[in-house]
Amino acid sequence: MHNTLGYLSMFGNRMWLLLIIGAALITIPFLIVRSNLRSMYVVGFAGSAIQTLYLLTLQISAGILYGALGAIIALFMGGLALGAMMHGKQRFVNFNHAKILLVLAYIILIALWLVMEHTGTWLLIAILCIGTLMASFGVGFLYVHISSNSDQNINLPAKTYATDLWGSAAGIVIVTLLLIPSIGIVLTTATLAMGIGIYLIFN
């Protein structure tokens, strides 16, 4: 808390400056990448942002981030792999379902914050694990879908991966250094859920 207040004090009352910087950090890479890979940038951003938010929630609510960090990261990576492996193999999971899972992970986190005081520690941890798996499954599935539906460029896998990394880096930086300090976790989660959800609906 003291570190956050000290960080914010550098900006005084100019919280709008943080938000402008955040908007620029999101928009500039989005405009630079190829149009057919912009969805991958957004998905990468959404994946890293939600993982960061879930980890912070775990620490704030249960205080066991150090002990559970490896397990949560492993769960996220496992979800990525599972989502990628499931693409094209199961008819009951499609592109739209993956997008819904990703946005739903944000909505679950918002709901969890609203009832956190009345939720037992182990139930809370279980919900965080489920939300993490849902988000990472959606990201993994969408990665394969976007890659397989783009033009057949020999460098496409590398470019798709690079775009995913750009989005992931932006998500971590913007969430931890800009959004949470200026507007808090709940409003950050709600803002991202709305923005990412709207983008994915129309793309």
pLDDT for 33-52, tens place per residue?
A: 777 778 888 899 999 999 99
Q: What is the CATH number of the domain that holds 17?
A: 1.20.1250
Domain count within the chain: 1
pLDDT for 171-189, tens place per residue?
A: 888 888 788 887 888 999 9
Quote the domain boundaries for residue 67: 2-201
pLDDT above 70 as % of the chain: 80
Q: Do 57 and 185 meet the contact criterion of CB atoms below 8 Å apart?
A: yes
- pTM of structure: 0.82
pLDDT value of position 154? 59
pLDDT value of position 104? 94
Greatest Cα-to-Cα distance within the chain, rounded to the nearest angstrom: 53
Helix residue ranges, H only, the chain: 2-9, 15-32, 38-62, 65-86, 95-115, 121-148, 156-173, 180-183, 185-201
DSSP string, 167-180: HHHHHHHIIIIIIH
Average predicted confidence (pLDDT) for the chain = 81
